[in-house]
Amino acid sequence: MVTNNVGTFAQHTLIAGETKLNMKSAFKAFKQSNAAWIDVKVVIIDKDFTKLDFFAEELPNATNILCHFHIIDYLKREASKRDYGFTLIKNTHVRILITMMVRTEDER
């Protein structure tokens, strides 16, 4: 149990083929080897938004946070697609704005 209010690393799992069944199996192993799994407070998720519901179901007391690095990377790659018709200069501005929006602490 963490008593210093800093937290601790519980588990890092790499799953080949992140199907729901594989994710369930990984969580089963996690829960079996971590008796205090119910006390998990925060889960950091990459850009795969489909995992949000899964983590909410498996760890109902935890807050899900999306990883800023993965969100910025995903949005920059999306903005670079030709479908949007941005010039190189506009794309550079969009990439800067994306980073600023994701990292802002002001919710206005």
- Give residue 1's pLDDT: 47
> How crowded is residue 10: how many other Cβ atoms within 10 Å of its Cβ?
14
- Give residue 82's pLDDT: 86
Task: Identify the three-state secondary structure at position 65.
Answer: strand
- Give residue 18's pLDDT: 75
Please state the domain extents for the chain.
20-66, 68-103
First vs last C-alpha separation in the chain: 37
Residue 51, C-beta contacts closer than 8 angstroms, at least 6 positions apart: 18, 23, 45
Show the tokens assigned to 108.
Answer: 């206005």
Residue 49, C-beta contacts closer than 8 angstroms, at least 6 positions apart: 66
User: Tens digits of per-residue pLDDT, 55-73?
Assistant: 888 888 999 888 888 888 8
